[in-house]
Amino acid sequence: MLQAQQINPVPNRPQMIGLVERFHCTWKGCIATYMSDERQREWDVWADFAVYAYNSGQHSTVMLSPNELMI
């Protein structure tokens, strides 16, 4: 269907996992936006909101959101 191919990264080769690391940075920023100091332990409650915000946001390169790309 998607013809995706799994690639196993070589250890100590950050070029292979750069996209994953970039997404982790974005994800941590998204979660941090929804949390305040008094709710630090409830990050899992805000995860659904962060996923929705990420999937609804427009990508600067393709000018479409991930939701629009899946349609």
Where exactly are the structural domains of the chain? Answer: 21-69
What per-residue confidence (pLDDT) applies to 33? Answer: 77
HEC profile of the chain? CCCCCCCCCCCCCCCCCHHHHHHHHHHHHHHHHHCCHHHHHHHHHHHHHHHHHHHHCCCCCCCCCHHHHHC
pTM, rounded to two decimals = 0.56
- pLDDT for the residue numbered 26: 85
> Can you give the pLDDT at residue 16?
67
Tell me: the pLDDT tens digits for 22-48? 888 888 888 777 776 665 677 777 788
Structure tokens at 56: 């609804």
